[in-house]
A and B are shown apart, each in its own frame.
Chain A
Amino acid sequence: MGRPLKKLLVANRGEIALRIIRSARLFGLKTVAVYSAADAQSAHVGAADEAIAIGPAEAAKSYLDIAAIIAAAKQSGADAIHPGYGFLSERPEFAQAVADARMVFVGPRPAVMAALGDKVAARRIAIAARVPVVPGIETAEISAAREFATVAGYPILIKAAASGGGRGMRVVAEAAQLEGALEAAAREAAAAFGDGRIFIEKYLAHPRHIEIQILGDEHGAVVALAERDCSIQRRHQKIIEESPAPGLSDKMRAKMIDAALNLARAANYTNVGTVEFLVEGHNFYFLEVNARLQVEHPVTEMRFGCDLVCEQLKIASGGKVAEPPAPRGAAIECRINAEDPEHDFRPATGTVLHLSVPGGPGVRFDSHMTRGAEVTPWYDGLLGKLVCYGANREEARGRLVNALGELALLGVTNNAAYLRDIVATEQFRDARLSTHFIDEFFSAWKIDAAEIDSAIVAAAITATDPQTENAAPRTGTDPPSPWDALHNFELWGSRR
């Protein structure tokens, strides 16, 4: 390969940092982790060959601090930087800073990222490449927004021009809500992306979200690794993703892949990326390009038997992408989040007091969780991704229901049971997928009454158990340590 790499700095945290470190090691690279003060004991720090503290807990002063990350890379002698997803992954100025420091950025070129990362510019490229788009305009002006909404008809969707992953998106059902929504979206956009520009488009009534995984090299070759259906979303956040997209005809798939490849070629795309579409009936509309590794990339890896992070490193080293093999079977992923599904999905924090990890054929759990891990309010609440493979969708689904049943994460309220109950529904089994799946079939979720009874029984036993009551009083003047929290873990103290 043209540009052999030796040492990779991973500019991220959580499950994705861990996942990248694993592949980088396989690829023969030394690895460098960076971490904020809140993550000093996090799994990715221990997994890397070396680890460098880059700042305080606030992301703006650590994982989003370009200067601190470049300094860490120089200090460690890294010759490449992988941005993961989120944080700096789609910031062209970061890719440029990496290049200016004479290191390799594992991702697309800065100019390509800049063009595709901007929804408005990306849309222009798509239109030029004859890829269908949803009617829409860029404006934060209330008068222009009103005019567009009147012509296109409500409901409309308001989103940050710089957004990814649904942050700052709002559906406006009627004219009276427009002004407030526009204001809140601009505020959220400015806070989350440092860019308050707003894009408004027609809201499709009943679409599916289907995306194409693409890979491009520096020699002009671009290939597609089939699709992922990410229709199951809650407040525009994907929670379940799968491949293949159930019921998608070969003809439609081929058209979408063609469109994605045309777009990628028109943009001179390199490295891995995802072209997202909304699909309604026999029509599909370009949504956006995610110019980075996607959260749900394991779904594709399971079907193609490939490692997309290794592919990224190969491309970044100047290597060529090969025509992919035919995909096999089906894979479904769900995102385990620290949130309370019974109380409006309020974000949850806490310490992991016990962790049971599911296993068995075709089961993959990408997670940085360990017993004792702290889930802090500083970053997004993704605890892990549970991905199941099967010879067909039904086998993958069955494995996922079982695997979610085996998962136990004590101490941090999470959505695992909620996800299990979705995957177990007949509507999911029958793949009645649309981005409104949750609203249509699953809006009134409640914890099973028998499980609540069991929990109350367990709580009553724990509360009255003398040994747990007196367990682990801290003695002396030792400073508090996370391990203190685990002393009283022998909860069934009076077992005989």
Chain B
Amino acid sequence: MKLMRAGDSHEIEAEVISRDGTTIRVRIGDRELAAEFTPNADGGGILAIAGRRYPVFSARRKDSIFVSVGPTSFEFKPAEVAARRRARGLAAAEIIAPMPGKVLKVLVRDGDLVEAGQALVVIEAMKMETTLAAESAAMVKQVRVEEGQTVDHGAVLIELSPPPASTARESAPRAD
């Protein structure tokens, strides 16, 4: 199974190899981990790995698997969901609203060539301005929003296409 952490473009291969009572073997990439899981009455449990014990809770909701390890919160998504949004040669084919908010500024126009890290659109959500930038070099295929417009979580703000070959740069997706 391939998982991705929310907000991360890095795929994680994870697989339960065996489960015998409380003893669980899990493969993560090319590593194999032995864990002991003891359920608690509160719906979570204690996960013991490499001599350390962690209180963990986990639940599925919509596309996500939420996990807490002590106070640390995680959100995982199956990699297929994230992969759907990818296009060849681009880190991301679409600039998506990370949450509902208002579009304050659109900084590019259809047909613009943009570089990795270049600011594309500024949105305001939860009283904060957030600038969304290109993750790789690209051409702006279509700007789908206007300044002042209110957008929902997941709304496509800008569509990108691969840059024309002559201007394409060796530009890997940024490692978050």
Point out residues on A near B: beta carbons under 8 Å.
167, 184, 187-188, 191-192, 340, 342-343, 346-347, 349-351, 353-354, 356, 377-381, 404-414, 416-417, 420, 447-448, 450-464, 468-469, 471, 485, 488-492, 494-496
Q: How far is the CA of A468 from the CA of B35 in the complex (A)?
A: 20
Query: Would you call the interface of chain A mostly helix, strand, loop, or mixed?
Result: mixed
Interface residues of B in 7-57 (CB under 8 A from A): 7-8, 12, 14-16, 19, 21, 24, 26, 28, 33, 35, 37, 39, 42-45, 47, 49-50, 52, 54-57
Whether the Cβ atoms of A451 and B54 lie closer than 8 Å is yes
Whether the Cβ atoms of A491 and B49 lie closer than 8 Å is no
Whether the Cβ atoms of A346 and B98 lie closer than 8 Å is yes
Q: How far is the CA of A415 from the CA of B59 in the complex (A)?
A: 19
CB-defined A-B contacts under 8 Å, sample of 29: A191-B124, A347-B98, A347-B128, A349-B99, A377-B101, A379-B126, A407-B71, A413-B73, A413-B74, A447-B72, A450-B49, A451-B69, A451-B72, A453-B28, A453-B33, A456-B3, A457-B14, A458-B69, A460-B14, A460-B15, A461-B19, A461-B37, A462-B67, A463-B3, A463-B65, A489-B59, A490-B43, A492-B45, A494-B19
Q: How far is the CA of A190 from the CA of B12 in the complex (A)?
A: 44
Given the known interface contacts A351-B61, A410-B57, the answer about A455 and B71 at a Cβ–Cβ threshold of 8 Å is no
Whether the Cβ atoms of A491 and B28 lie closer than 8 Å is no
The smallest beta-carbon distance between B132 and chain A, in angstroms, is 10
Residues of chain B lying within 8 A (CB to CB) of residue A416: 71-73
Please name the residue on chain A nearest to B128 by beta carbon.
Answer: A347
Q: How far is the CA of A346 from the CA of B45 in the complex (A)?
A: 29
Q: How far is the CA of A490 from the CA of B42 in the complex (A)?
A: 9
B118 CB within 8 Å of chain A: no
Whether the Cβ atoms of A457 and B35 lie closer than 8 Å is yes
Residues of chain B lying within 8 A (CB to CB) of residue A489: 43, 59
Given the known interface contacts A187-B104, A450-B50, the answer about A495 and B39 at a Cβ–Cβ threshold of 8 Å is yes
Whether the Cβ atoms of A454 and B47 lie closer than 8 Å is yes
Whether the Cβ atoms of B43 and A456 lie closer than 8 Å is no
Residues of chain B lying within 8 A (CB to CB) of residue A459: 3, 14, 58, 65, 67, 74, 76
Whether the Cβ atoms of B71 and A408 lie closer than 8 Å is yes
Q: How far is the CA of A429 from the CA of B43 in the complex (A)?
A: 35
Q: How far is the CA of A496 from the CA of B59 in the complex (A)?
A: 18
Per-residue A-contact encoding for B76-107, CB less than 8 Å = 1, 0 else: 10100000000000000000001111001000
Whether the Cβ atoms of A405 and B59 lie closer than 8 Å is no
Whether the Cβ atoms of B37 and A409 lie closer than 8 Å is no
Q: How far is the CA of A188 from the CA of B16 in the complex (A)?
A: 49
Please name the residue on chain B nearest to A420 by beta carbon.
Answer: B71
Given the known interface contacts A451-B72, A453-B28, A457-B35, the answer about A346 and B16 at a Cβ–Cβ threshold of 8 Å is no
Residues of chain B lying within 8 A (CB to CB) of residue A412: 73
Given the known interface contacts A408-B57, A413-B73, the answer about A354 and B68 at a Cβ–Cβ threshold of 8 Å is yes
